[in-house]
Structures are given as structure tokens and as C-alpha cells.
Amino acid sequence: MLKSLDNFYVKTEEPLRSTLMALSDIILSQNEKLSSSLKYGMPFFSYNKKMFCYLWVDKKTKEPYIGVVEGNKINHPSLEQGNRKRMKIFRIDSQKDLPIDEISEVLQLALLHY
């Protein structure tokens, strides 16, 4: 029996599935205290049981992004505030290689607030 988080990835079509799974691995590799679960219908990552970030796909562009919960406390050129008060997002261009170093930099900045 698949866990609900596994089911989320299984239901997602390629190549988006591979991108989201790679992003999940990158996020979880940032710190041993990070864990993942399915919350609000999306992969959610917690640090010491506190909401840290999540993965989602923009409904208009169909491109994935990482939502950073404490994004409002981080100044980084790759993060977009939009009309969000607390969270910022890191958009991923699925036509290019994942910017692993930049993603890690943003996530490490976010970890400083926990």
C-alpha cells in the first residue's frame, strides 16, 4: 500500500514527477532534522515538526516551485514574494538543469530562522 506522499508522486506525470522527486531529495539533504509528509495535498517539509517549505506546481505555467514558509525573513534574488505575506517562492524552470547550489543557498538561509 502506497503512503499518501508516495501516491502524490506516482500520480504526477513525467517529466514533472522526476523534477519534484529530485527537489524533494535536495530539500531533505539540507539537514538531518528535515522530514516530509503530505499536507494540504502537497509534499510538505518540516524542520523539528515546524513547517519549513513545500513543493507545488503553478497552475498557469505548469512549472514547479519551492514555497519557503519563512520566506519573508530572507532576502535572495531568486525568491518571489508576490502577494504573500509570509511565504516566498523559488520557481524552477523545468527546461533547464536544477540550480542545486542556488536552491541549497536559499534553503540554508531559511534554516537559519529555525
Q: Is the CA virtual torsion 17, 20, 26, 29 positive or negative? A: negative
For 90, the domain range is 4-111
Q: Classify residue 49 by its DSSP letter.
A: T
Question: What would the pLDDT profile of 7-33 be if each residue is shown by its tens digit?
Answer: 999 999 999 999 999 999 999 999 999
Mean pLDDT, rounded, for 52-57: 97
Q: Is the pLDDT of residue 2 over 70?
A: no
Grid cell digits, residue 44: 510538505
Contact 8, 40 (CB under 8 A): no
Q: How many separate domains does the chain show?
A: 1
Provide the β-strand partners of residue 39: 42
Give the integer Cα–Cα distance in Å for 52 and 60.
Answer: 24
Q: What is the CATH number of the domain that holds 34?
A: 3.90.1150.200
- In this structure, the dihedral spanned by the alpha carbons of residues 102, 18, 26 and 85, taken in order and rounded to 10 degrees, is 60
